[in-house]
Structure formats: structure tokens, C-alpha cells
Amino acid sequence: MYNGLLNGLLILFSGGVDSSLLAALAHACLPLEQPIELVGQLHRTRAFMQAAHHWLQATPG
């Protein structure tokens, strides 16, 4: 089990070169036990913003 400071990493993923590069770098640099959440940013609805806020609040650090 990963014992680092983060429970995971959230990347707002548009599918473009920049977010794809961030996802690839995160995958290469972080331990395999640390999850990486890719969240599509095209639909920034109220439910999405509430879910992102909840995820940020649940992540220590």
C-alpha cells in the first residue's frame, strides 16, 4: 500500500496534448499504488464541481 502524502491525483483531462502529457508524466513518476483520476472537463456541471470539491476535501495534505 502506498504510504505517501496523497491518496491519489486528479487530472482535469480534456484529451489534448497538455493533459495527455500530464497524465503520462504522472503515470511515469508516481508509484503504481497511487491512483490517478482522469476527469473529463468538458462538462463542468454543478454535479461535477460538487464531486471535484468532495474529492479535494477527502484528499489529505
- Say what the pTM is: 0.57
Cell of 44: 463542468
- Torsions phi, psi of 40, nearest 5? -60, 130
Cβ(26)–Cβ(11) below 8 Å: yes
User: Which distant-in-sequence residues (6+ apart) come within 8 Å of 38 by Cβ?
Assistant: 11, 13, 19, 23
Please return the burial class of 5, using the count of CB atoms within 10 Å of its CB with bins 0-12, 13-18 and 19+: exposed
pLDDT tens string, the chain, 61 residues long: the values are: 445 555 778 888 888 899 899 999 999 998 888 889 888 866 567 777 787 788 778 766 5
